[in-house]
């Protein structure tokens, strides 16, 4: 797994052959195939690891804050998500770039995770509706748009392509998310 993170996160999936992964990890190709079966499987396991960590971090950040205002809840969740997925530029590259366009199986994997996040964001938006902070409407399209915006901004920020601090990125995404949820 460490070799996959290093190579996929620095050189990219396309440049990381099984032989190179095995050489970096100090294992035989037989061991690799016994453990993962394919480069795609390794990529998806690495993605699962970072996104599960991010989901857990967001849930923990929101635990006990059900009565807090929408903006504060969004800030807590966004900070937890971004610090988890972008604390290491390799995780950011793997999460936001390397997963796209690999294969039908990897695309299904990515879309399954996106559906989980849409469901989560919809549920959080419904909490804002229940507290009178937002009008009742369908939040699913907005959630998909938000996910795309978050992914692009966080990746570009993590590579240095976008200036600003972590707080600047979080503040921008909090404004965007709050506006999206409260729009009628």
Which pair of structure tokens corresponds to residue 134?
A: 């937002």
CATH architecture of 39-182: Orthogonal Bundle (1.10)
42, 20 contact by CB (below 8 A): no
For the segment 106-165, what is each residue's pLDDT rounded down to a tens digit? 999 999 999 999 999 999 999 999 999 999 999 999 999 999 999 999 988 888 898 999
For the chain, the structural domain boundaries read 39-182
Q: What confidence tens digit (pLDDT) does each residue in 76-95 have?
A: 999 999 999 988 989 999 98
Give the up-direction half-sphere exposure of residue 19: CA atoms within 13 A in the CB hemisphere.
0
Name the CA dihedral angle for 170, 176, 182, 184, rounded to a multiple of 10 degrees: -170
């Amino acid at each position: 797994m460490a070799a996959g993170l290093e190579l996929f996160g620095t050189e990219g999936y396309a440049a990381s052959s099984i032989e190179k992964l095995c050489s970096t990890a100090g294992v035989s190709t037989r061991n690799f195939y016994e453990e993962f079966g394919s480069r795609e499987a390794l990529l998806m396991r690495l993605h699962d690891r970072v996104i599960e960590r991010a989901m857990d971090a967001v849930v923990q950040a929101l635990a006990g804050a059900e009565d807090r205002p929408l903006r504060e809840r969004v800030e807590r969740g966004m900070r937890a998500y971004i610090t988890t997925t972008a604390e290491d530029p390799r995780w950011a590259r793997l999460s936001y770039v390397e997963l796209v366009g690999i294969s039908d199986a990897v695309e299904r994997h990515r879309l399954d995770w996106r559906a989980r996040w849409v469901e989560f964001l919809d549920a959080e938006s419904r909490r804002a509706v229940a507290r009178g902070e937002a009008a009742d409407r369908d939040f699913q399209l907005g959630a998909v748009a938000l996910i795309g915006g978050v992914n692009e901004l966080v990746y570009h920020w993590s590579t240095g392509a976008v200036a600003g601090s972590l707080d600047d990125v979080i503040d921008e995404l909090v404004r965007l998310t709050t506006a999206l949820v409260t729009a009628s």
